[in-house]
Structure 1
Amino acid sequence: MKIAIVGSRGIPAAYGGFETFAENISAQLRDIGHEVSVVGEKGSNITQGKFHGIRIIESAYRKGESPLKFYYDSLKKASFEHDILLVCGVGGAPFYPIIRKKRNIIVSNVDGLEHLRDKYSFLQKTYVRIAQKFASKYSDFLVADAKALASFWIQKQNVPSSRLKIIPYGTHKPAGFNPDVLREYGLQNKEYYILVARFVPENHILEIAEGFRVSGTKKKILIIGTHENTEYSEMVLKYKSENILMPGAQYHREKLDSLRAGAFAYLHGHSVGGTNPSLLESMSAGTVCICHDNPFNREVNGEGQLYFRNSIELAERIKRLESKSEQETSEYCKKSMQRIKDFYTWNNAANSYNTLFRELNG
């Protein structure tokens, strides 16, 4: 079967969740025996149009600069020779009726509740809502990565449950722990917290920085993420200090694995994105995760874990965790790692997609 993954910036992953998804699912589907292509944005530096046996199709546009042109061009190029178009997000859905060829089966991975993202303007949120309607009507099938997300599409978009399937994301096995990586950042093992996220309001970085400050902890916090030129980023950066470190983005997987493994705990503020890869990676690394309290994070990390709704609650959770013994804190880690094994592997995700594609393709 010929499968094209459309809508991400491309592989190898160097931006966010969709890129991580595209890189891992494409490799798994390739190993199953499918011919897999990934459509990426303009500027791909993959030589010979291949990445580990995955065909790379380059759009004529960059997603961040011309998103609508990117979606249209990517979908059009993928439609000519592929049986399945696995589309990341709904941004390109208004183009489905235009680009669809008779042989195409369009499967939309609907991502999170994009219309709730504070970083978007009123016009952008309006477009997202329109795109959601098109995705509901013109997708052959929809995939949600979380039960809470599926509920939105069934209840608010009137998508029949027979046209929607829940397939959780997966995560990779950590590469291991390299103490040299910690030294690069001036950190000591288990003497710091970590947060990996883009500087946008729905990731609650501001509340996390304030809660960390109020807690009075002697440990440091390493906030890994892009410093976008926005008012919100400027507000967050004001918290930068000797103990609140903000070195910028880091996309090197092995380094991130070591930073997560060496952390005392991971602070996770994402609130609208469904199953978040960074949370899965921290759980897989055996790190205690203190998460923003919302249905997505509770679904992933389960009950009996630590959650917060605001900076005051986060400060209390930090104090509570630091008062516990090593044996007590290890119980949080064991529960998280077991959930990864049970529900969140790329192998499980790929097998679910493979079954779905074969059913849809007859």
Structure 2
Amino acid sequence: MTVSVIGTVGVPACYGGFESLVENLLPSSKIGLVYCTKRAYSSEVDTYKGAKLKYWSLDANGPQSILYDAVSILHSLIFTKNDLLVLGVSGAITLPFFKLFSNRKVVTNIDGLEWKRDKWGASAKRFLKFSEKLAVKYSDRVVADNAAIAEHVKKAYNKEADIIAYGGDHAVAGELDKEKSDFALALCRIEPENNVKMILEAFAKTPQRKLKFIGNWNNSSFGKELKEQYSKLKNIEIIDPIYDIAELFKIRNKASSYIHGHSAGGTNPSLVEMMFFEIPIYCFDCNYNRASTEDKANYFSSAQSLKELLLKTENPSKGTDMLEIARRRYTWDIVKSQYEALFND
């Protein structure tokens, strides 16, 4: 059976984790149709890596994502005979209708418990939680990208979720350099939930340790203020976003350690990508990050605890542990075979 992919900006990938997922699932013997937003592409193509593309004049993210996903689901119901791979829960309000008129398989990746995130207001949180409930109820299989999310699905809905994370091996765009430079790397969207200020404070208190911090600093007043404050320090280099994987590889390849401040969202793609660089990783201490790294990284919960870790001598075996886990769990070949197996059942 052919599969329609719902819920991404589209391919070629130009945005985030779900887009990179679909990019690396293709070409696929299963995926036949991917819905895309016109607003992300200067031109439209009919096919990409063997899949047909269908464009809508709606945003794939934000408030319009509800309609974007709903229209995609209804189009697939009426004009195709495809099964559905739904990425995210925005359009889940349409799934009861889809199941009323079709017995086709629905597989939903419920993403990272969006309703728990501080960036949403009370009404948005209620809607997202209700959407998650519908997604779990009306999906034949539920995908969780992290064991902690699978545990939530079991506890909240008494349903078993398939744990499938993201691949990260594509980030290694050349030969790994064994001679590292003396800087730590941080890479994320500049949002409070990623503990950006906490990381910067720790390095401000540890002037003997260097930090290169890549992010979208100019997209918010929060980022602009931090950039203004901390770019004055000699040991901290504030770097604007780098989207080219080859250019990003050059910096990643020289880093001696990686600082990961994410506190929400399940398994984070940037974390699993950095695990392939065989360097010690310092993660914010939460159940998602511990599950992703199998409790074998270094963990901090405050600027002070990160500072204390930074003052210790780095243990190279920590990097070896990260690479072993990455090769065992986070290659795209593994992820692709896991998704295709869901539609073979």
Output the TM-score relative to the length of structure 2.
0.90
1:34: how far off? 2.6
Name the CA distance, whole Å, in 1 between partners of 2:94 and 2:217.
Answer: 32
Matched, 1:333 2:319: yes
- Decide which of 257, 263, 277 is 1:285's aligned counterpart: 277
Deviations 1:105-125 (A, max 9, x none): 211101112112122222221
Deviation at 1:284, TM superposition (A): 0.8
- Quick one: which amino acid aligns to residue 312 of structure 1? Q
- 2:37 pairs, out of 22, 41, 48, with 41
Opposite residue 276 of structure 1, the aligned amino acid is N
- Corresponding position: 1:172 with 2:169: yes
Q: Give the paired residue count.
A: 337
Change (3 A) 1:217 1:196: same
- Superposed, 1:70-109 pairs within 5 Å as 70-79=68-77, 80-100=79-99, 101-102=101-102, 104-109=104-109
1:249 & 1:264 partners in 2: Cα distance? 20
Using the alignment, how far apart are the partners of 1:63 and 1:35 within structure 2? 19
Determine if the alignment matches structure 1 residue 62 to structure 2 residue 53.
Answer: no
> Per-residue displacement from partner, 1:144-163 (whole Å, max 9, x unpaired)?
1111110111112x1422xx
Q: What does 1:207-246 correspond to in 2, within 5 Å?
A: 207-219=198-210, 221-227=211-217, 229-237=219-227, 238-241=229-232, 242-246=234-238
Q: CA offsets, 1:42-82, max 9 Å, x none?
A: 23345532223332221220123522222222222333314
Structure 1, unpaired ranges of 5+: 180-187
The amino acid of 1:335's aligned partner reads D
Q: Is the 8 A contact 1:206 1:235 kept in 2?
A: no
Query: Are positions 1:347 and 2:333 aligned together?
Result: yes
| Change in 2 beyond 3 A, CA 1:251/1:77 | farther
The SS at the match of 1:95 is helix
C-alpha RMSD of the superposition: 2.2
Give how far 1:177 is off: 5.5
Name the residue aligned to 1:196. 187
Q: Gaps spanning 5+ residues in structure 2: where?
A: none
For the Cα contact (< 8 Å) 2:144–2:150, is it kept in 1?
yes
Partners of 2:219 and 2:276 in 1: CA distance: 32
1:252 and 2:248 are equivalent in the alignment:
no
CA distance in 2, matches of 1:304, 1:172: 19
Aligned to 1:23: 23
**1:218–1:48 Cα change, 3 Å:** closer
Distance in 2 (alpha carbons) for counterparts of 1:340 and 1:78: 35
Cα deviation, residue 303, structure 1: 2.8
The alpha-carbon distance between structure 1 residues 99 and 233, as it changes in their structure 2 partners (threshold 3 A), is: farther
Q: Which residue identity is paired with 1:128?
A: L
C-alpha change, 1:56 and 1:228, in structure 2 (3 Å) is: farther
> Secondary structure, in 3 states, of the residue corresponding to 2:96?
helix
Cα 1:99–1:213 shift into 2, 3 Å: same
Aligned positions of 1:303-322 closer than 5 A: 303-320=295-312
Shift in CA distance, 202/337, structure 1 to aligned 2, threshold 3 Å:
same
C-alpha change, 1:194 and 1:68, in structure 2 (3 Å) is same
How far, CA to CA, are the matches of 2:14 and 2:30 in structure 1? 24
1:316 shift after superposition:
1.1
Q: Secondary structure at the match of 1:115?
A: helix
Return the letter of the residue paired with 2:4.
A
Q: How far apart are the structure 2 equivalents of 1:98 and 1:239?
A: 51
Shift of 1:345: 1.4
Q: 1:159 to 1:89 in 2, by over 3 A?
A: farther
Q: Residues 77-100 of structure 1, C-alpha deviation per residue, up to 9 Å, x if partnerless?
A: 333314221111111111212345
* Match status 1:50 vs 2:47: yes
Q: Is this contact kept in 1: 2:260–2:283, CA < 8 A? A: yes
Give the conservation status (yes or no) of the 8 Å contact 2:176–2:253: no
Q: Is the 8 A contact 1:26 1:38 kept in 2?
A: no
Is the 1:6–1:78 contact (alpha carbons within 8 Å) kept by the matching residues of 2? no
> How many angstroms apart in 1 are the aligned matches of 2:51 and 2:31?
8
